[in-house]
Structure 1
Amino acid sequence: MKETASFCKSYLLWFFSLSAILYAYSVGFYNGNNSCSGAEAIVNEVVTKAVKADPSIAAALLRMVYHDCFVRGCDASILLDPSLSNPEPEKNALINLSIRGYEVIDTAKAALERLCPGIVSCADIIALAARDAVGLSGGMAFDMPTGRLDGMISSVQDVSDNLPGTTLSAKEMTQQFAQHGLTQDEMVTLAGAHTIGQAHCDQFTNRLYNFPGSPTGIDPTFHPTYAQHLKSICAVETDSDILVPLDPLSPNVFDNNYFMNGVLGMVLFSSDISLFYDVQTQAMSHLNAQHEELWETKFAKALVHLASLQLIEPGEPGEIRTNCRSRNHEL
């Protein structure tokens, strides 16, 4: 028994030491000695096909990296399916039920496993897919560091306290982002991701019907013509089936229209419009509306920061999953 325990301890020390050598988070990590120099190209090819088939998937992939990294860090815990040993993973949380794009990650992972099995983590695929989603939608190209490990834990109980909803104030969102080490300016900058994507009517009809203190029932910060347009689409306050583009002008183009729309009162969520009225975030939001290239540069930097939250360090429990939906040797 002692010999077996000694062997296991020695093996673990060797394994974690090897992990420390192999997994050094950096740009171009899979190039050179890591035996998968085509990794980023494969992810890009898969995401390109997906976005061409359905432009809205770009926004879904951006949302995925945010929902993954804000809960236990960027460890692909959002991807784990329910299992006998873990019947309630993160993806079962109510706020995560609308997450899309899992099949894009699966396709990229399968292609990578054929090329270089056991090398590319699912967490890196999520991050690279989010970066490519920006570029393929017309946004700025930028580098995304790689070398993440996949996590071993995924629990629905970790989700609610870490993912801010769409009804928070600018102050509350600032506090939420600060808990994850992101600045207020990064929070405002990343909110611009809502320049692409869609929302269900019931996510914003609280601003169209029976808004507190409004004689018309409409949030007075809404552009009146836009509000009437939305009411013609979302005729029932509780309708959850109809989808509305977040940006009515260029819904699939990654540009700074989110901020220009916000100045005019043409954003959907309470959390969005609050950025244009709060004294601490108003100037930042207006600056992003006026200077698109500046915002895109800041967005790339902020997304890289977001995608580096709480990475699993060598020596901590982590792995390279063979299947992104289950841990290796899952029960």
Structure 2
Amino acid sequence: MTHKIAILGASGYTGAELVRLIAGHPNMEIVALAAERKAGQSMADVFPHLRHMDLPRLCRIDEIDFGSVDLCFCALPHKTSQEIIRDLPKTLKIVDLSADFRLRDPDAYETWYGNPHVALECQEEAVYGLTEFYREEICAARLVAGTGCNAATGQYALRPLIAAGVIGLDDIILDLKCGVSGAGRALKENLLHAELSEGTNAYAVGGTHRHLGEFDQEFSKLAGRPVRVQFTPHLIPVNRGILATTYVSGNAQDIHDTLTAAYADETFVEVLPFGQTPSTHHVRGSNFCHIGVTGDRIEGRAIVVAALDNLTKGSSGQALQNANLMLGEEEVTGLMMAPLFP
């Protein structure tokens, strides 16, 4: 069976990544690509690397016949996404890549994103899209909320450890480095080559990054009590990739054993041998997440390092993984490409 697919926000990085991934999917056909400001253009005009593909021209959202669409990927900015999804057919399956449906508490959404939620009915049915931990709910969902890329990386490193009680919950430090594509495709002065290259910087310092809302929600739910991690992201002058270095209290070998057992049957999460740590090079362009564990010279402390591609496993690859489940496809279909190296 061929599933008819629409992508809203197709002119952004995650939209282009979705097109690239779906090109290798045997049972999906892209029938609509929406990009309001670039409507009327061909995808080859916007992304020349996709010129070999036979794709529909970019259009406005109101030009799409959603009655002929099986599943819609929504790769629009937060706030815009909820306004659009609210008015889509209630029978349409949707994977949203924005932040609009990640936080279950509307008050928390308003706190972190600065505007009230306008699609509360949709919010109530949304399933959090971290596939390995919400697989059963995703299979039955109509609306899946993709995670933040930083939030996904930190959760892969920490969720099994919090659930198993093998680390302290009050002294978790998460130091994360993210490639520039995580900031999106919009023109921004600080992302110009001359402004960004040959340097790196911390941002959202002191607990202001919006993905902390996801950490608070998910880690507290696991622990059964409030858990607040100390989190600082850094922008690094690379196109793709996230490297999260997490400092925790606990026995390093127990931590490694817990992660190994938790991900033993997971195709896309690889726990490295004890003492080895991953590189963003090793997951670039793939749907894989690599995790490493090592002890620290300070007794009772350990370091957990996770690496993934923010555009693939952190966003569009995760979205396709979830869409496969929602459409009854094998979860890994279209996602087994090897990482790009060098």
Establish whether TM, by shorter chain, passes 0.5. Answer: no
What's the TM-score, normalizing by structure 2? 0.27
What's the TM-score, normalizing by structure 1? 0.28
More helix per residue: 1
Structure whose alpha-carbon radius of gyration is higher: 1
Of structures 1 and 2, the one scoring higher in RCO (CA 8 A, sep 6+) is 1
More strand per residue: 2
